A and B are shown apart, each in its own frame.
Chain A
Amino acid sequence: MRIKMIIMCFILCFITSWAIGQEVKLGALQDTTGATSDVGKDEALGVREATQYYNDMGGINGKKIRLFQYDYGYRVPEAITTYKRFRDYDKVAMVLGWGTGDTEALSPTINADKMPYLSSSFSGHLCDPKKTPYNFVYGTDYSTNARGAITYWFEEVWKKDPKWKELRDKGAKPKFVCFMDTSSPYATAPIKAIKEQATILGFEIGPDNNIGLTALDTKSQVIAAKGFGANLVWHGNTTMSVSAAMKDAYALGLGADHIVNNWGFDENLPKLAGPAAEGAMGLLGCALFIDEYPGKKKVLDYAKKLNPGVPLENRLIRTVQGWVKVGMAVEAMKRADKAGKLNGPGIKEAFETFKDWPGLKEFGGQLVTLTPTDHRYSSIVRVARVIKGKPQTVAELDMRAKFPDRWAGWLGW
């Protein structure tokens, strides 16, 4: 009897130590020094802090997440070689990716490898499982967002704002131009969609203006837009470059309104652009760091715990986006693990079971529904506006409900 008891104790000890030793490896590509580091560094901090939080809460059903987080400086070749290390040596369960260029460049490889890939690129090209079955995004895709932003501006500003009354009364069409880095896959990803939406709404579309992601002087582009008589500008770059363009537009009296893609619109925009950013509209994927949201305490606690040297006043919405990204990955891995399939195909299938999943609401995210035929994270577009120097949410548009006949046809571009 005593021997049996001892055997049971030893077996329990052994199982416990084996379970403690189990890990789930997670690779993360980050840009903390490259062309999108103005938003990338803060997101990387959020990813690291969120991973620690989920580990402290028990990881993936008791398995610790071991995060490998590397700066690839927004260089596609370095992203590709780092991915190979994740796959061949670190043996990660899934990858948290970053830019559109590298995510799209890696897409054929990760899909052949059956490697789930949750990216900070919300390119619409990554949302059609027929073409990219292992790619996932953790925000409303750029194309849906861009369509939503221009629709909101048309309905709520062009049709109602006294600023445009004279032109409205004359029966003028709103004139629209795009400012973006024409060599950047991120900046160009939603251009086809927003131009189609502009056409649907009856805009006159002017020539594109190429503004680099590192641009400090955009006067010639602003003068060109002024020459066209633009009433609305779409900014497709990240915050630094967008702020430079807004300052020049303000100084040169362009007079147009601004709508900005998700990665160009955050707490830093009014700080960098000052009064030039007042009234600008942009797209938010989740709560701003400074907002009130249910998960704020844990976000703050882990920011202080892991990165006490980074002042909280410098933190951005990007930190919260890091939490959204990790939260979504953790949920999929937990579901896959519970099903006994903590591997590529199992995690993909787990993502595709998300139906109105509310887990991201605590960070100001949307209900998430993913299916084997549609990887668009949500049809909800959250539009914000800089009011008294602070971005504030002004509307949420459900693009599927608003354009039910077109929604299916917008998948994948």
Chain B
Amino acid sequence: MRKPLLMLLIMIFGISGVMGCAGLRPTDDAGKPKITLERVEIASMFPWVDLPARTPLGLGFVLNVDNPSGYNIMLDNIKFTVSFEAAPGKYIEIATPTVYDRIYFPPKTTSQYRVVSIMDSGTIRLTLLVAQAPKVQELKLNAGDLIKDWYAKVGDFKFGIKVHEGMAVFSTEKGDVFVPFEGTFPKK
């Protein structure tokens, strides 16, 4: 009678352990995950159509996720801001991709994680005319000309694309771990 009960308890304990913890442990500073921008890719591109028509542009951001700890870590959500270089060394914010897909990274590995962001020339124009208008005015640029120029050059990455204000949140059994990151492509 006691043996089956003990077996049942061991099974419950095992299942609850797997469900509740999934191998996650707190990440101390030495084992804190690190994120770097590996590269930016064109995910999809369409022939330019003059504004106000919208021309889509899909960019893929390939991020290296380094887990130096001895435990699995779970990425809970990740967001970052994308800025395009408008003049040498001067960047303008274009979009803020956010992803909530949960994914595990094994211990002592560096994995690649891709975030694809679909933009379009109409949305970029609105951003340049509203939230980024002071910067555009400061640089004395015309929003429409600037966007057309970006579309002409983006295939060869002839201007810098910056990923900044990046924040990845990893869940552990001791709470959330926040990992800020940034990077620029092409690397100079």
Identify the closest chain A residue to B129 (Cβ). A214
* A33/B131 in contact, CB under 8 A: yes
Q: Is B130 an interface residue (CB 8 A)?
A: yes
Q: Is A395 an interface residue (CB 8 A)?
A: no
Q: Could you tell me the distance in whole angstroms from the C-beta of A276 to the nearest C-beta in chain B? A: 15
* B12/A73 in contact, CB under 8 A: no
Identify the closest chain A residue to B10 (Cβ). A10
Cα-based distance from A55 to B129 in the complex (angstroms): 36
At the interface, is chain B mostly helix, strand, loop or mixed? mixed
Given contacts A10-B13, A71-B96, A240-B133, contact A214 B126 (CB under 8 A): yes
Given contacts A33-B96, A70-B98, contact A13 B16 (CB under 8 A): yes
Cα-based distance from A319 to B179 in the complex (angstroms): 21
Q: Could you tell me the distance in whole angstroms from the C-beta of A344 to the nearest C-beta in chain B? A: 22
* A307/B131 in contact, CB under 8 A: no
Chain A residue numbers with a CB within 8 Å of B127 are 33-34, 37
Q: Could you tell me the distance in whole angstroms from the C-beta of A222 to the nearest C-beta in chain B? A: 18
* B130/A308 in contact, CB under 8 A: no
Q: How large is the interface on B (under 10, 10 to 19, 20 to 34, 35 or more residues)?
A: 35 or more
Within the complex, which residue of A3, A18, A21, A306 is in contact with B178, where a contact is CB–CB below 8 Å? A306
Chain A residue numbers with a CB within 8 Å of B134 are 272
Chain A residue numbers with a CB within 8 Å of B94 are 33
Within the complex, which residue of A21, A33, A214 is in contact with B20, where a contact is CB–CB below 8 Å? A21
* A216/B165 in contact, CB under 8 A: no
Given contacts A68-B100, A69-B98, contact A309 B182 (CB under 8 A): yes
Q: Is B176 an interface residue (CB 8 A)?
A: yes
Given contacts A33-B123, A307-B167, contact A17 B96 (CB under 8 A): no
Max chain B Cβ within 10 angstroms of own Cβ: one of A6, A213, A306? A306
- A–B complex contacts, Cβ < 8 Å, 23 sampled: A3-B5, A17-B17, A33-B95, A33-B124, A33-B131, A34-B127, A35-B126, A36-B130, A37-B127, A38-B131, A71-B95, A214-B129, A238-B130, A240-B129, A240-B133, A272-B134, A306-B167, A306-B178, A307-B167, A309-B164, A309-B165, A309-B180, A310-B165
Per CB-CB distance, the 6 closest pairs between chain A and chain B, nearest first, are A17-B20, A37-B131, A309-B165, A214-B129, A17-B16, A14-B16
Apart from the given pairs A13-B13, A34-B123, A44-B96, 16 other A-B contacts in the complex at a CB distance below 8 Å: A3-B5, A13-B16, A14-B13, A14-B16, A32-B95, A33-B95, A33-B96, A35-B130, A37-B127, A38-B130, A68-B100, A71-B96, A74-B126, A214-B126, A214-B130, A216-B133
B residues apposed to A, CB below 8 Å: 2, 5, 9, 12-13, 16-17, 19-21, 77, 79, 81, 94-96, 98, 100, 123-124, 126-127, 129-131, 133-134, 164-167, 173, 175-176, 178, 180, 182
